A and B are shown apart, each in its own frame.
Chain A
């Protein structure tokens, strides 16, 4: 009887998959809180060369508000881009849906963050219609452990963007 039970357990394990399913998350449920005084236009995961973009949080987050919880399969270490409406009073035009074809940065100014991995930069790039577009964003490499994660975006007294998981 004991062996039968053990056998049935093993069969169930085999059929479902492996033990790791009990304690490993394969997706991240991300919620972003905006503690800066500018609106966040969205959060994307971008490739290292900047040519491919996977949008994650698409809705605009007004200052002091939280985004919806969006579940995606990003578990690991990825380069994340947070797009702002403006930074330090410089207003720029928001990017269009053709953002996947951005060219390398033509001018980069307003390098605000002291830490090397989180800079808010303004980039001028041509869209798919060859129209010049500007976007203001911060790029940061983040470690997503999976499960429910709460990202707080804030601005410190020096005017740098600060990203913190809570």
Chain B
């Protein structure tokens, strides 16, 4: 009975996950490159808070049904799969005791195709596949606590079905630079001399991971960042500013993250994040997002996600809406893993504290182990039921009286 109920619940969840799913619009796919580039630079900004150590991130979004994230083109609804594969790697080397030189690569490949895949797409006639690749070098000086990073960003359009997508630039090359002094950082990305984004971040919250305090009022200071995005409307400059405000609410395990757009739209999203441990390896979040599609309360998209280190489940979450082409009304599973390290301590993306880790002597001393065992065996001769000592032979030795040398063979013939 219990099993039956479980089965029904599971089936209901799967049905709900597919039946209420909204198809993704073609416009969201065309905007995909911009979203990917901005997310990569934001990620890099978080890693550059320390500017040393390493960071590793890999993920693959899994949507099992072809009716889960259909494509909504002008001709109708196409069956298929939206996908997002990504990785990010940052590694650094210690030059001398205060200088760290680092190299980073970030890669995203996202889009929609009529088949799902790992490496080689199907390239259907309505597919849209694009990728963004960011790389660069960083230099960190721990004495004066500053980081400088510079690099390039390539946006490539692999395929856009000509029947439903507008013409786009095939490949674009951007430059980016990041500079940090203590907890103030500035980041910019440029295309042929004109800026694309300019971001000023004030990470006022004190972080134990980077030498700050672990508790007290300093950990309740806000993290603010303001980004100017370049936007063109009908050929005229129509730039806008996005303001993020991340606020520690309780012991660096409960945070709120609010985003506003200026000057036009105002409130964009609010996220309540709960991390059972401040190292942010596991996280739960509830989000509310304004879509600018309807008016009033109908416009708000409520959702949430659960991040379990290797798996992430999301339903209508603000992150998925933005990064999975306005996906909503369906469960999105991401097979992922990410970890950062600074000074042999590990942390999750954007964390304030390192993960609690016990250091144990992991080296196995075979000699010591064998010696201990041998001593144990020698000291305790076994005694049988009658009380006589029993000695077990470990081999049989044959000796020939006339032999010059004593030969031995173990186990007999």
Contacts and interface: CB of A to CB of B under 8 A. Distances in A.
Decide whether A and B are members of one complex.
yes
Contacts of B78: 74-76
A54 B70 CA distance: 20
B182 to A, nearest CB: 45
Given A78-B76, A79-B76, A141-B76, A15 B66 contact: no
Interface in A21-48: 21, 24, 26, 45-48
A14 interface: yes
B125 A77 contact: no
A14 B79 CA distance: 22
B114 A73 contact: yes
Q: Is the interface of B mostly helix, strand, loop or mixed?
A: loop
Nearest to A47: B74
Given A26-B124, A76-B77, A141-B76, A20 B116 contact: yes
Given A47-B74, A79-B76, A146-B79, A26 B122 contact: yes
Given A54-B163, A75-B78, A18 B117 contact: yes
B315 interface: no
A26 to B, nearest CB: 4
A20 B118 CA distance: 12
Give the size category of B's interface with A.
20 to 34
Contacts of B66: 20, 24
B75 interface: yes
B119 interface: yes
A18 B118 contact: yes
Contacts of A21: 115, 122
A79 B78 CA distance: 12
Interface residues of A, number: 27
B126 interface: yes
Most buried by B among A18, A20, A21, A76: A76
A10 to B, nearest CB: 10
B114 A17 contact: no
Given A20-B115, A21-B115, A24-B115, A15 B75 contact: no
A74 B80 CA distance: 11
B217 interface: no
A21 B122 CA distance: 9
A77 B77 contact: yes
B144 interface: no
Contacts of B70: 76
B114 to A, nearest CB: 4
B79 A17 contact: no
Given A17-B122, A76-B70, A26 B76 contact: no
Contacts of A46: 75
Interface in A126-149: 141, 146
Nearest to A10: B118
Interface string A140-166: 010000100000000000000000000
Contacts of B74: 47-49, 52
B116 A16 contact: no
A45 to B, nearest CB: 5
B120 interface: yes
Contact of B75 (A16, A24, A54): A54
A47 to B, nearest CB: 4
Nearest to B113: A26
A20 B83 CA distance: 14
Given A49-B74, A52-B74, A15 B79 contact: no
A76 B78 CA distance: 4
Interface string B115-153: 111111110111000000000000000000000000000
A18 B76 contact: no
Contacts of B75: 45-48, 52, 54, 74, 78-79
Interface string A1-17: 00000000000011111
B76 A77 contact: yes
B118 A76 contact: no
Given A54-B75, A73-B114, A78-B75, A14 B124 contact: no
Nearest to B67: A76
A73 B162 CA distance: 13
Interface string A43-61: 0011111001010000000
A31 to B, nearest CB: 20
Most buried by A among B79, B120, B126: B79
A18 B115 contact: yes
Given A24-B66, A47-B74, A75 B79 contact: yes
B24 to A, nearest CB: 13
Interface in B73-121: 74-81, 114-121
A23 B168 CA distance: 33
A46 B122 CA distance: 24
Interface in B30-76: 66, 70-71, 74-76
Contacts of A79: 75-76
A25 to B, nearest CB: 9
6 contacts: A15-B120, A17-B121, A45-B76, A47-B75, A52-B75, A76-B77
Q: What 4 pairs across the A-B complex have the smallest Cβ distances?
A: A78-B76, A17-B117, A47-B74, A73-B125
Given A17-B121, A45-B76, 6 more contacts: A14-B119, A15-B119, A24-B115, A26-B80, A78-B76, A79-B75
Interface of A: 13-18, 20-21, 24, 26, 45-49, 52, 54, 72-79, 141, 146
